[in-house]
Amino acid sequence: MGEASRVTGRFRGTFDVLHSLTYFAPETEAALTDAGLRPGRMTYFAGRAAPMGAVGPGVVAATFYNFNPELVARHIPRAWTLASPDRIIEARFEAVDATLTRLLGKDTLDSKEVEEAAELAREATGGCQVDGRPLYAGHADLDWPSEPHLVLWHAITLLREHRGDGHIAALLVNGLDGLDALLTHTATGKGFLAAAAKASRGWSDEQWDGAAAKLREKGVLDAEGGLTEAGNDLRERIEAATNAASAGPWEHLGEEKTKRLHELCGPLSRQAVEAGAFPANVFSTGR
């Protein structure tokens, strides 16, 4: 697979930054509460789920995967009584526009590099497979925006949700439920810090500790909460399966264009991070 294989493995550190920064941006909560939602977690659940329509809490928990379903049910389906999915989607794009303008600046967003990146990222989405990917499918049904920086964000969102749906399939095949997946990924040192993972995903200390105890019994975690050799092997199998399931867009784009898109998005991601896109004490330094 060449460049396709390499890029799938680097997706989180380059492309995903440009999507996920919106979840931490004050502009997102401002726009979605302006649309009628309540502040806090409702804006995240409804904002990301809205492309699937007014679905119930079970669908959101299933497609988001590592959130406590009890947390989801506090906000969904109530969110749909406060704002329609169409209005939420509109507000979400407004928030993305404001967030990227603040973090990257208008000159960067109007640059030829962003325009080129948008064209390449959109072309890459032509290699996405809809079968068995419900969250991706909902986003893929949306109309494309017209501004290049919003095209870029939407394309990366499609690539991200396409990869995420494939990742859930890999987790299921390897026997990890949502909490197990979150806990073992945290143990890799490449994701959330444990305290941030529990708080943001709605798991209590008792639920977290109970899942950790079961994973220790299975030989996945050691006594200190780190991954055992078997646990590392498990996570490597999951990442390999996720990468394989996510290679289609990059194979479709081709090696030369894929490499160019990575070159274009890397500086944008770094600029956003340096501008304070993510709060401290949330992600491990290995992210």
One DSSP character per residue, 50-93 reads GGG-S--HHHHHHHH-SS-HHHHHTTTTHHHHHS-HHHHHHHHH
pLDDT band at 3 (very low <50, low <70, confident <90, very high): low
Quick one: average pLDDT of 193-204? 94
pLDDT of residue 7: 60
- For residues 192 and 185, the model is more confident at 185
Q: Please enumerate in sequence order all residues whose Cβ is within 8 A of that of 51, keeping only pairs 6 or more positions apart, or say none.
A: 85, 89, 135, 138, 139, 141, 142
Q: Given its phi and psi angles, is residue 56 left (phi above 0), alpha (psi -120 to 50 degrees) or beta?
A: beta
One DSSP character per residue, 122-137 reads HHHGGG---TT-HHHH
pLDDT of residue 142 exceeding 80: yes
- Taking only the tens place, the pLDDT of each residue in 143-170 is 999 999 999 999 999 999 999 999 999 9
- Taking only the tens place, the pLDDT of each residue in 8-17 is 556 666 889 9
- Write phi, then psi, for 88 (nearest 5 degrees): -65, -40
Q: Please enumerate in sequence order all residues whose Cβ is within 8 A of that of 11, keeping only pairs 6 or more positions apart, or say none.
A: 159, 160, 163, 246
pLDDT of residue 281: 72
Q: What pTM did the predictor assign?
A: 0.93
Residue 155: strand, helix, or coil: helix
pLDDT band at 49 (very low <50, low <70, confident <90, very high): very high
Q: Which amino acid makes up residue 202?
A: G
Q: Which amino acid makes up residue 4?
A: A
